[in-house]
Amino acid sequence: MAKVSCRRAYTSELQKLAEKNPDILSVCTDSRGSVTMGGFAAALPEQFLEFGIAEQNAVAAAAGAALCGKNVFVSGPACFLAARSFEQVKVDVAYNKTNVKIVGVSSGVSYGPLGGTHTSLHDFASMRALPNIMVLTPADAVECRMITRVLAGRQGPAYLRMGRGDVEAIYPENEPFVFGKAKTVCSGSDVALIACGETVWPALCAARLLQQKGICARVIDMYCLKPADEEIVIRAAQETGHIVTVEEHSIFGGLGELVAHITAEHCPVKMRMIGFPDSEVKVGEPAELFQYYGLTAENIAAAAEKILRE
């Protein structure tokens, strides 16, 4: 199957939904190009608002529109929506439980060549700390369209985070999902590889490498980080005894610490966390940074082998 970016899957799906529902309102922050919202703006100008480089204003206005009955999606670079407008997300959206979906695009190191100002390796941690808000990140276009459909029909705040580039297809178009429940991509009993977002694909490739060595790795797509599917994590811990987490996020406050929290309370097991360290991130293309920081199939497989040897 051809690669498709999650951002294009999101915007095309949202436009289809908005054509049927005039209450859906798209708000952008000088990002209709980077979010690929240009088609929506041209087709549905009465349901589109452009705020320019003013993320705080965009989120505050979105909350006001939601209180007037609109179903609002605020789209822009994740690095700015999750940092510059954090107070507005905290107060106007999360605390007040307004029907606003914050959609952070080009997350993680998607903007790697632009340096640290444009990375968003903190957003899982910050958004998960807020009450009343879901935190989601799709692994491919199929899952992204599913999440968009559900969020459009669901009341309440959410933070949806996705990358910029085209991604491999993991799921077929007719794949069934139980929203909010993590997805087991492949089964295995020796070690569990728990990933989210664009790291699900290298985790799946790592499982294939391990299979060649006689190691059966379970791969779990933790696309919903809040509320977390604790049951699938506990079951993986009980049935494999070894867990490796992979995320395009700081090792602080993200998927790894979430899984460690769950297992520490219910079923302590040996773990390894693969993510970005507590240091300034190098400047480079996303693929180069994935390679440098070990978010690759080869490194994930090596971490799984090491934990099994221990």
Q: Assess whether the previous peptide bond of 286 is cis (omega < 30° from 0).
A: no
- Dist CA 275 CA 258 (whole Å): 13
Please pick, among 55, 143, 198, 248, the residue that the annotation labels catalytic. 55
Phi, psi for residue 301 in degrees, rounded to 5: -65, -40
Alpha-carbon span 162 to 44, nearest angstrom:
23
Give burial (CB, 10 Å; 0-12/13-18/19+) of 205.
Answer: middle
Contact 110, 286 (CB under 8 A): yes
Residues 273 and 267: beta-carbon distance below 8 Å? no
Rounded to 5°, angle at Cα 174 from 173 and 178: 115
3-state secondary structure of 221: strand
DSSP code for 7: H
d(CA 62, CA 194): 34
Residues 6+ apart with CB under 8 A from 279: none
Under 8 Å CB-to-CB from 7, ≥6 apart: which residues? 34, 35, 36, 105, 106, 162, 163, 164
Question: Is 55 a known active-site residue?
Answer: yes
Q: Which sign, positive or negative, has the C-alpha torsion 30, 35, 38, 43?
A: negative
Instruction: Please name which of 202, 231, 234 lies closest in space to residue 219, comparing C-alpha atoms.
Output: 202
Spatial separation of the C-alpha atoms in residues 260 and 233, rounded to whole Å: 10
In the numeric block, the tokens 């999750």 are attached to 82
Which residue type, as a one-letter code, is found at position 125? A
Residues labelled as active-site residues: 55
